[in-house]
């Protein structure tokens, strides 16, 4: 069964939820940057992100309920994508439709960097048509060319 996840642009009103998800233990373990983030630093980052023309930050919603967040950072050669699922929504098949929604919104090519032990995200990337191009320091570098 395919779940339709909708993306909406994040706002400062999403700050507390984004910080809660970011500091979740499992999220930090899967992240390339695993340090806990303090609220002041998060607010500064979020404010800058919302005004950065080279970054798209979305809240993923299912039936008007926030279930995750995703981000696209413009690189010289395409977009670097990342995503987070709300801790209480993991294991429900939401990451793949979130990634597809990002792919439909932007023009590629697309890139993803995933820690090698983050098997759930590796499976999502592969299912979404990404191919691992390189492994370096336990990070997998995936690419999805333009269709």
In a domain, 91, yes or no: yes
pLDDT for the residue 62: 93
Q: In what order do the strands lie in the sheet with 78-85?
A: 6-9, 55-62, 65-75, 78-85, 110-115, 139-144, 131-136
Residue 26, domain CATH: 3.40.630.30
pLDDT of residue 2: 63
pLDDT score, position 88: 95
Q: What is the pLDDT of residues 36-47, one digit of tens each?
A: 999 999 999 999
Give me the numbers of helices (H) and strands (E) for the chain, helices first please.
5, 7
DSSP state of 100: H
Q: b or e along 36-75 (b: 16 or more beta carbons within 10 Å of the residue's beta carbon)?
A: eeeeeebeebbeebeeeeeebbbbbbbeeebbbbbbbbee
Task: Kindly state whether residue 17 falls inside one of the protein's structural domains.
Answer: yes
Give me the sign of the Cα torsion angle 17, 18, 24, 30. Answer: positive
Q: Residue 19 belongs to what H/E stretch?
A: helix 15-22
Total number of domains in the chain: 1
Residue 88 lies in a domain: yes
- 50, part of any domain: yes
Q: What are the tokens at 24?
A: 């979740």
Chain Cα centroid distance, residue 132: 17
Domain presence at residue 90? yes
- Flag whether 116 is in a domain: yes
Pick out the chain residues at pLDDT < 70: 1-2, 147
Q: What pLDDT does residue 1 have?
A: 54
Write down the pLDDT at residue 115.
95
The reply to whether 1 falls in a domain is no
Q: Per-residue pLDDT tens for 122-146?
A: 999 999 999 999 999 999 999 998 7
23, 80, 6, 31: CA torsion to nearest 10:
-20
Q: φ and ψ at 23, to 5 degrees?
A: -90, 0
Residue 83's domain comprises: 6-144
């Amino acid at each position: 069964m395919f779940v339709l996840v909708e993306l909406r642009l994040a706002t400062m009103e999403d700050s507390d939820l984004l910080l809660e998800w970011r500091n979740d233990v499992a999220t930090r373990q899967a992240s390339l940057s695993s340090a806990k983030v303090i609220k002041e630093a998060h607010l500064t980052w979020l404010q800058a992100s919302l005004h950065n023309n080279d970054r798209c930050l979305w809240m993923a919603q299912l039936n008007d309920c926030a279930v995750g967040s995703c981000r696209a950072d413009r690189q010289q050669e395409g977009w670097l994508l990342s995503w987070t699922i709300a801790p209480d929504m993991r294991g429900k098949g939401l990451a793949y439709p979130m990634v597809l929604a990002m792919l439909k919104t932007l023009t590629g090519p697309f890139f993803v960097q995933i820690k090698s032990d983050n098997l759930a995200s590796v499976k999502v990337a592969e299912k979404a048509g990404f191919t691992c191009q390189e492994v370096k320091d336990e990070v997998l570098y995936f690419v999805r060319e333009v269709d």
